[in-house]
Structure 1
Amino acid sequence: MTRTWTLPILLVLCGSVVATGLILSGSPGEAAALLLMFVLLAGMHSSLVFPRSIDAPEALRRSAADGRPVVYWRPGCTYCLRLRFRLGRGARQLHWVNIWRDPAGAAAVRAANDGNETVPTVVVAGRPHTNPDPEWVREQL
């Protein structure tokens, strides 16, 4: 769990340090704008922008029942962010598994990607697809 929040916390801390320096040098407006930018970046790289994650066995069970794809992802992954934002509201229809919180999910991704934890890995009808085009994923819904 701590690994999930490491990057967002570091972004907020770095932004706070830089903003403090700007305030001390007499630029409170620039400090506020910069801190806001760092907070937004931290939010984008956190788990907050993704639908609620479930564990891998539950995601596979639900996918078998309703036919919807399973997406294995991790916080801070720019390709996962691209997939999430390009899917828009349709992202809520997928089953999301955070591989940093679920060891079974990480093992499934390694099994599908020759031992690498390459994400996003989307499983459709039991077949894994590594970093697929968001439009293709939308068509699978």
Structure 2
Amino acid sequence: MTLAYDYPVPGVFWTTMWIFLWILWFVLLFRIIGDVFRDDSLGGGAKTGWLVFVILLPFLGVFVYVVARGKETGTRERQHAQARQQAFDEHIRETARGGGAESASEAEQLAKLSEIRSKGDITEDEFRLAREKILH
């Protein structure tokens, strides 16, 4: 009589461990490839060299990269995160001030609208409708 379960618990543990390590290695590989592309201090030849090394000898390439450039990787990641945060904060400030294309004052918008009308690009009726939208 055979049982439906024929896989021992230590086998499940080791299989799970290997799958976890395999996924972890892939995540590390993709982070390294992203770091190579993001690094402005590397030239084109150095980037190509690292990518070829990491792709042709994947395990060795990943480990050598982590040993050789691991410390700078964290610094670059932190700088990238700070730059993204600053850009986001600036966007929020501009939006809160009514920034962007909408930051022009009513007078500036009316002046532009008047200039467009004087060129003949819009009719008098279109000018009046646009002026009402700006003022309301």
Fold similarity call, TM over 0.5:
no
Give the number of the structure whose residues are more often strand, by fraction.
Answer: 1
Give the number of the structure whose residues are more often helix, by fraction.
Answer: 2
TM, length-normalised to structure 2: 0.31
Larger RCO (alpha carbons 8 Å, 6+ apart): 1
**Whose Rg is larger?**
2
